[in-house]
Structure 1
Amino acid sequence: MMNVINRVLALFVCLFFSFQTAALAKVEVTWTEPDKYSDIKDSFSGYQTTKDDAFYNIEKELNRLAKKLPDGYLLKLEVTDLDLAGETHSRNIRVVRHMFPPRIKFTYQLLDGGDNVLLEKQENIRDTSFMNGVSLRHKNQAFGFEKQLVEDWFKDSFTDYLVRN
Protein backbone atom coordinates (compact mmCIF):
# COMPACT_ATOMS: atom_id res chain seq x y z
CA MET A 1 0.00 0.00 0.00
CA MET A 2 2.81 2.39 0.90
CA ASN A 3 4.49 1.66 -2.45
CA VAL A 4 1.32 2.72 -4.34
CA ILE A 5 1.05 5.93 -2.32
CA ASN A 6 4.70 6.76 -3.07
CA ARG A 7 4.13 6.19 -6.81
CA VAL A 8 1.01 8.36 -6.86
CA LEU A 9 2.81 11.08 -4.93
CA ALA A 10 5.78 10.92 -7.32
CA LEU A 11 3.40 11.17 -10.29
CA PHE A 12 1.75 14.31 -8.85
CA VAL A 13 5.15 15.91 -8.20
CA CYS A 14 6.25 15.21 -11.78
CA LEU A 15 3.00 16.57 -13.20
CA PHE A 16 3.24 19.69 -11.04
CA PHE A 17 6.76 20.52 -12.25
CA SER A 18 5.96 19.74 -15.88
CA PHE A 19 3.04 22.20 -15.78
CA GLN A 20 5.25 24.80 -14.11
CA THR A 21 7.93 24.44 -16.79
CA ALA A 22 5.45 24.54 -19.64
CA ALA A 23 3.99 27.84 -18.44
CA LEU A 24 7.25 29.84 -18.43
CA ALA A 25 7.72 32.64 -20.95
CA LYS A 26 9.54 31.61 -24.12
CA VAL A 27 11.56 33.20 -26.90
CA GLU A 28 11.60 32.21 -30.57
CA VAL A 29 14.37 33.73 -32.70
CA THR A 30 14.50 33.46 -36.48
CA TRP A 31 17.77 34.48 -38.14
CA THR A 32 16.61 35.55 -41.61
CA GLU A 33 19.22 35.34 -44.39
CA PRO A 34 22.28 35.57 -42.10
CA ASP A 35 24.66 35.45 -45.07
CA LYS A 36 23.46 38.96 -45.95
CA TYR A 37 24.11 40.44 -42.49
CA SER A 38 26.39 43.47 -42.30
CA ASP A 39 29.05 41.82 -40.20
CA ILE A 40 28.87 38.06 -40.36
CA LYS A 41 29.75 37.57 -43.98
CA ASP A 42 33.51 37.71 -44.07
CA SER A 43 35.39 34.89 -45.75
CA PHE A 44 37.70 34.02 -42.88
CA SER A 45 37.93 30.47 -41.59
CA GLY A 46 36.15 31.35 -38.35
CA TYR A 47 32.99 32.51 -40.15
CA GLN A 48 30.68 29.64 -39.18
CA THR A 49 31.99 29.45 -35.62
CA THR A 50 31.58 33.20 -35.10
CA LYS A 51 28.07 33.16 -36.57
CA ASP A 52 26.96 30.16 -34.50
CA ASP A 53 28.55 31.55 -31.33
CA ALA A 54 26.95 34.97 -31.82
CA PHE A 55 23.51 33.51 -32.46
CA TYR A 56 23.81 31.14 -29.50
CA ASN A 57 24.95 33.86 -27.08
CA ILE A 58 22.29 36.35 -28.13
CA GLU A 59 19.54 33.72 -27.91
CA LYS A 60 20.81 32.61 -24.51
CA GLU A 61 20.64 36.20 -23.26
CA LEU A 62 17.10 36.63 -24.63
CA ASN A 63 16.01 33.42 -22.90
CA ARG A 64 17.50 34.65 -19.61
CA LEU A 65 15.63 37.93 -19.94
CA ALA A 66 12.36 36.22 -20.93
CA LYS A 67 12.21 34.68 -17.45
CA LYS A 68 11.24 38.16 -16.26
CA LEU A 69 8.08 38.11 -18.37
CA PRO A 70 4.82 36.61 -17.07
CA ASP A 71 4.30 32.87 -17.44
CA GLY A 72 2.95 31.85 -20.83
CA TYR A 73 4.22 34.91 -22.70
CA LEU A 74 6.01 34.41 -26.01
CA LEU A 75 8.54 36.81 -27.53
CA LYS A 76 9.07 36.23 -31.26
CA LEU A 77 11.97 37.92 -33.01
CA GLU A 78 12.94 37.89 -36.65
CA VAL A 79 16.49 39.19 -36.98
CA THR A 80 17.25 40.69 -40.38
CA ASP A 81 20.70 42.16 -39.72
CA LEU A 82 23.48 41.85 -37.18
CA ASP A 83 26.58 44.00 -36.89
CA LEU A 84 28.85 42.91 -34.05
CA ALA A 85 30.90 45.38 -32.05
CA GLY A 86 34.22 46.03 -33.72
CA GLU A 87 35.53 45.03 -37.09
CA THR A 88 37.17 41.84 -38.31
CA HIS A 89 40.63 42.16 -39.79
CA SER A 90 43.04 39.67 -41.29
CA ARG A 91 43.63 36.39 -39.48
CA ASN A 92 40.06 36.57 -38.13
CA ILE A 93 40.98 39.07 -35.40
CA ARG A 94 38.18 41.34 -34.21
CA VAL A 95 39.28 44.85 -33.24
CA VAL A 96 36.79 46.74 -31.09
CA ARG A 97 36.76 50.53 -31.36
CA HIS A 98 34.22 53.26 -30.61
CA MET A 99 33.49 53.77 -34.31
CA PHE A 100 32.11 50.22 -34.75
CA PRO A 101 29.16 49.86 -32.33
CA PRO A 102 26.99 46.75 -32.09
CA ARG A 103 23.72 46.91 -34.01
CA ILE A 104 20.81 44.52 -34.45
CA LYS A 105 17.89 45.02 -36.83
CA PHE A 106 14.75 42.93 -36.19
CA THR A 107 11.00 42.82 -35.86
CA TYR A 108 9.31 41.40 -32.81
CA GLN A 109 5.98 40.41 -31.35
CA LEU A 110 5.16 39.97 -27.68
CA LEU A 111 2.23 37.60 -27.18
CA ASP A 112 0.39 36.84 -23.97
CA GLY A 113 -0.60 33.32 -22.91
CA GLY A 114 -3.69 33.49 -25.09
CA ASP A 115 -1.80 34.32 -28.31
CA ASN A 116 -2.96 37.95 -28.23
CA VAL A 117 -0.36 40.34 -29.69
CA LEU A 118 0.52 42.86 -26.97
CA LEU A 119 3.36 44.60 -28.80
CA GLU A 120 4.63 44.47 -32.35
CA LYS A 121 7.43 46.60 -33.67
CA GLN A 122 10.39 46.89 -36.00
CA GLU A 123 13.68 47.81 -34.31
CA ASN A 124 17.14 48.89 -35.37
CA ILE A 125 18.99 49.07 -32.06
CA ARG A 126 22.57 50.22 -31.63
CA ASP A 127 24.71 51.55 -28.84
CA THR A 128 27.15 54.21 -30.00
CA SER A 129 28.49 54.63 -26.46
CA PHE A 130 28.95 50.89 -25.92
CA MET A 131 32.52 51.21 -24.69
CA ASN A 132 31.62 53.85 -22.12
CA GLY A 133 28.93 51.79 -20.41
CA VAL A 134 29.19 52.12 -16.65
CA SER A 135 26.92 49.14 -16.08
CA LEU A 136 28.34 46.79 -18.67
CA ARG A 137 27.71 43.58 -16.75
CA HIS A 138 28.72 41.39 -19.70
CA LYS A 139 32.06 43.08 -20.44
CA ASN A 140 34.18 39.97 -19.81
CA GLN A 141 31.88 37.60 -21.70
CA ALA A 142 31.82 36.50 -25.31
CA PHE A 143 29.64 38.93 -27.29
CA GLY A 144 29.27 41.04 -24.16
CA PHE A 145 28.53 44.27 -26.05
CA GLU A 146 25.73 42.58 -27.98
CA LYS A 147 24.31 41.02 -24.79
CA GLN A 148 24.29 44.44 -23.12
CA LEU A 149 22.57 45.95 -26.16
CA VAL A 150 19.85 43.27 -26.02
CA GLU A 151 19.45 43.63 -22.25
CA ASP A 152 19.06 47.43 -22.45
CA TRP A 153 16.52 47.12 -25.29
CA PHE A 154 14.56 44.45 -23.40
CA LYS A 155 14.33 46.51 -20.21
CA ASP A 156 13.31 49.65 -22.12
CA SER A 157 10.75 47.86 -24.30
CA PHE A 158 9.04 45.62 -21.76
CA THR A 159 9.13 47.61 -18.51
CA ASP A 160 5.34 47.48 -18.20
CA TYR A 161 5.27 43.69 -18.63
CA LEU A 162 8.10 42.58 -16.34
CA VAL A 163 7.18 40.48 -13.32
CA ARG A 164 8.28 42.11 -10.10
CA ASN A 165 10.01 39.78 -7.66
Structure 2
Amino acid sequence: MKITSRIFTLAAATFMCFQVAAMAKVEVVWTNPEKYVDIKDPFNGMQNTKEDAFYNIEKVLKRLAKKLPDGYLLKLDVTDLDLAGETQSRNFRVVRDMFPPRMEFSYQLLDGGDNVLAENQENIRDTSFMNKVSLRYKNEAYGFEKQLIEDWFKDSFTDYLVKN
Protein backbone atom coordinates (compact mmCIF):
# COMPACT_ATOMS: atom_id res chain seq x y z
CA MET A 1 0.00 0.00 0.00
CA LYS A 2 2.84 2.39 0.80
CA ILE A 3 4.39 1.82 -2.63
CA THR A 4 1.12 2.61 -4.40
CA SER A 5 0.73 5.77 -2.33
CA ARG A 6 4.27 6.90 -3.15
CA ILE A 7 3.77 6.20 -6.86
CA PHE A 8 0.55 8.22 -6.83
CA THR A 9 2.28 11.10 -4.99
CA LEU A 10 5.20 11.03 -7.45
CA ALA A 11 2.82 11.00 -10.44
CA ALA A 12 0.81 13.90 -9.03
CA ALA A 13 3.96 15.93 -8.35
CA THR A 14 5.24 15.25 -11.88
CA PHE A 15 1.91 16.32 -13.37
CA MET A 16 1.96 19.53 -11.31
CA CYS A 17 5.48 20.32 -12.53
CA PHE A 18 4.29 20.03 -16.14
CA GLN A 19 1.33 22.29 -15.33
CA VAL A 20 3.61 24.94 -13.83
CA ALA A 21 6.00 24.73 -16.78
CA ALA A 22 3.14 25.28 -19.23
CA MET A 23 1.71 28.38 -17.54
CA ALA A 24 2.36 31.81 -19.02
CA LYS A 25 5.44 33.54 -17.62
CA VAL A 26 6.73 37.07 -17.17
CA GLU A 27 10.31 38.28 -17.43
CA VAL A 28 11.06 41.80 -16.21
CA VAL A 29 14.35 43.59 -16.79
CA TRP A 30 14.91 46.81 -14.82
CA THR A 31 17.30 48.74 -17.08
CA ASN A 32 19.45 51.38 -15.31
CA PRO A 33 17.19 51.76 -12.24
CA GLU A 34 19.58 54.31 -10.77
CA LYS A 35 18.32 56.73 -13.45
CA TYR A 36 14.61 56.24 -12.72
CA VAL A 37 12.74 59.40 -11.79
CA ASP A 38 11.48 58.15 -8.45
CA ILE A 39 14.01 55.60 -7.31
CA LYS A 40 17.10 57.74 -6.87
CA ASP A 41 17.51 59.63 -3.63
CA PRO A 42 20.41 61.87 -2.60
CA PHE A 43 20.34 60.48 0.94
CA ASN A 44 20.29 56.87 -0.27
CA GLY A 45 17.10 56.26 1.69
CA MET A 46 15.12 54.88 -1.23
CA GLN A 47 16.84 51.48 -1.55
CA ASN A 48 13.97 49.64 0.14
CA THR A 49 11.49 51.56 -1.99
CA LYS A 50 13.22 50.32 -5.14
CA GLU A 51 13.23 46.69 -4.02
CA ASP A 52 9.64 46.88 -2.74
CA ALA A 53 8.35 48.61 -5.87
CA PHE A 54 10.06 46.14 -8.21
CA TYR A 55 8.79 43.18 -6.19
CA ASN A 56 5.20 44.47 -6.10
CA ILE A 57 5.13 45.31 -9.80
CA GLU A 58 6.53 41.92 -10.77
CA LYS A 59 4.02 40.24 -8.45
CA VAL A 60 1.03 41.88 -10.15
CA LEU A 61 2.46 41.12 -13.60
CA LYS A 62 2.84 37.44 -12.69
CA ARG A 63 -0.75 37.34 -11.46
CA LEU A 64 -2.00 38.97 -14.66
CA ALA A 65 0.08 36.62 -16.83
CA LYS A 66 -1.98 33.71 -15.50
CA LYS A 67 -4.79 35.04 -17.69
CA LEU A 68 -2.71 34.40 -20.82
CA PRO A 69 -2.67 31.01 -22.56
CA ASP A 70 -0.28 28.35 -21.31
CA GLY A 71 3.24 28.67 -22.65
CA TYR A 72 3.03 32.39 -23.42
CA LEU A 73 5.87 34.67 -22.31
CA LEU A 74 5.58 38.38 -21.58
CA LYS A 75 8.92 40.20 -21.59
CA LEU A 76 9.23 43.73 -20.24
CA ASP A 77 12.25 46.01 -20.30
CA VAL A 78 11.48 48.84 -17.86
CA THR A 79 13.43 52.04 -18.51
CA ASP A 80 11.73 54.38 -16.02
CA LEU A 81 9.39 54.28 -13.06
CA ASP A 82 7.74 57.29 -11.46
CA LEU A 83 5.65 56.34 -8.44
CA ALA A 84 2.44 58.17 -7.55
CA GLY A 85 3.12 61.17 -5.37
CA GLU A 86 6.33 62.88 -4.43
CA THR A 87 8.97 62.14 -1.84
CA GLN A 88 9.00 65.00 0.67
CA SER A 89 11.87 63.66 2.73
CA ARG A 90 13.61 60.40 3.35
CA ASN A 91 10.74 59.13 5.42
CA PHE A 92 7.46 59.79 3.61
CA ARG A 93 5.73 60.29 0.28
CA VAL A 94 2.89 62.75 -0.34
CA VAL A 95 0.37 61.60 -2.93
CA ARG A 96 -1.34 64.38 -4.90
CA ASP A 97 -3.10 64.30 -8.24
CA MET A 98 -0.38 66.42 -9.86
CA PHE A 99 2.09 63.52 -9.42
CA PRO A 100 0.53 60.53 -11.25
CA PRO A 101 2.13 57.10 -11.50
CA ARG A 102 4.07 56.58 -14.73
CA MET A 103 6.10 53.77 -16.23
CA GLU A 104 8.19 53.57 -19.42
CA PHE A 105 9.00 50.18 -20.90
CA SER A 106 9.07 48.07 -24.02
CA TYR A 107 7.44 44.68 -24.16
CA GLN A 108 7.06 41.55 -26.25
CA LEU A 109 4.37 38.92 -25.97
CA LEU A 110 5.51 35.57 -27.30
CA ASP A 111 3.51 32.41 -27.84
CA GLY A 112 4.79 28.97 -26.88
CA GLY A 113 6.81 28.75 -30.09
CA ASP A 114 8.72 32.02 -29.55
CA ASN A 115 6.64 33.82 -32.17
CA VAL A 116 6.17 37.51 -31.35
CA LEU A 117 2.44 38.19 -31.08
CA ALA A 118 2.66 41.79 -29.85
CA GLU A 119 5.39 44.29 -29.07
CA ASN A 120 5.56 47.98 -28.38
CA GLN A 121 7.23 50.86 -26.54
CA GLU A 122 5.00 52.22 -23.78
CA ASN A 123 4.89 55.31 -21.60
CA ILE A 124 1.84 54.69 -19.46
CA ARG A 125 0.44 57.09 -16.87
CA ASP A 126 -2.85 57.58 -15.08
CA THR A 127 -3.60 61.26 -14.59
CA SER A 128 -6.99 60.47 -13.00
CA PHE A 129 -5.59 57.97 -10.49
CA MET A 130 -6.92 59.93 -7.50
CA ASN A 131 -10.49 59.98 -8.86
CA LYS A 132 -10.97 56.26 -9.32
CA VAL A 133 -13.70 55.09 -7.00
CA SER A 134 -13.12 51.38 -7.43
CA LEU A 135 -9.39 51.21 -6.93
CA ARG A 136 -8.82 47.49 -6.46
CA TYR A 137 -5.53 48.00 -4.69
CA LYS A 138 -6.45 50.95 -2.47
CA ASN A 139 -5.19 49.32 0.74
CA GLU A 140 -2.03 47.84 -0.76
CA ALA A 141 1.46 49.21 -1.16
CA TYR A 142 1.98 50.63 -4.67
CA GLY A 143 -1.75 50.34 -5.32
CA PHE A 144 -1.82 53.17 -7.86
CA GLU A 145 1.02 51.59 -9.83
CA LYS A 146 -0.61 48.15 -9.68
CA GLN A 147 -3.87 49.59 -11.02
CA LEU A 148 -1.97 51.38 -13.80
CA ILE A 149 -0.33 48.11 -14.86
CA GLU A 150 -3.57 46.14 -14.66
CA ASP A 151 -5.38 48.71 -16.85
CA TRP A 152 -2.55 48.63 -19.40
CA PHE A 153 -2.49 44.82 -19.41
CA LYS A 154 -6.23 44.51 -20.01
CA ASP A 155 -6.16 47.15 -22.77
CA SER A 156 -3.12 45.63 -24.48
CA PHE A 157 -3.90 41.91 -24.31
CA THR A 158 -7.70 41.61 -24.50
CA ASP A 159 -7.43 39.46 -27.64
CA TYR A 160 -5.07 37.01 -25.95
CA LEU A 161 -6.73 36.52 -22.57
CA VAL A 162 -8.07 33.07 -21.76
CA LYS A 163 -11.81 33.10 -21.24
CA ASN A 164 -12.85 31.40 -17.98
TM tier, smaller: over 0.9
Farther off after superposition, 6-15 or 147-156 = 6-15
| 1:42-85 deviation per Cα after TM superposition (whole angstroms, max 9, x unaligned) | 12353100000000000000011011011111000000000000
Q: Kindly report which structure 2 residues correspond to 1:33-72, keeping only aligned pairs within 5 A, or say none.
A: 33-72=32-71
Distance 1:7 1:92 in 2: 53
Shift, 1:137, TM fit = 0.5
What is the aligned-residue RMSD (CA, Å)?
A: 1.1
The answer to whether structure 1 residue 119 and structure 2 residue 107 are counterparts is: no
Shift, 1:11, TM fit = 2.3
Shift, 1:93, TM fit = 1.4
Counterpart of 2:61 in 1: which secondary structure?
helix
Contact kept? 2:57, 2:145, Cα under 8 Å: yes
TM-score, normalization by structure 1 = 0.95
| Matched residue, 1:105 | 104
| Matched residue, 2:6 | 7
Alignment gaps of 5+ in structure 1 = none
| Matched residue, 2:149 | 150
Distance 1:4 1:91 in 2: 60
* 1:96–1:13 distance in 2 versus 1, CA, 3 Å: same
| Matched residue, 2:26 | 27
Pairs aligned (count): 164
Percentage of identical aligned residues: 75
Contact kept? 1:44, 1:92, Cα under 8 Å: no
Alignment gaps of 5+ in structure 2 = none
Distance 1:106 1:30 in 2: 9
Amino acid in the other structure paired with 1:16: F
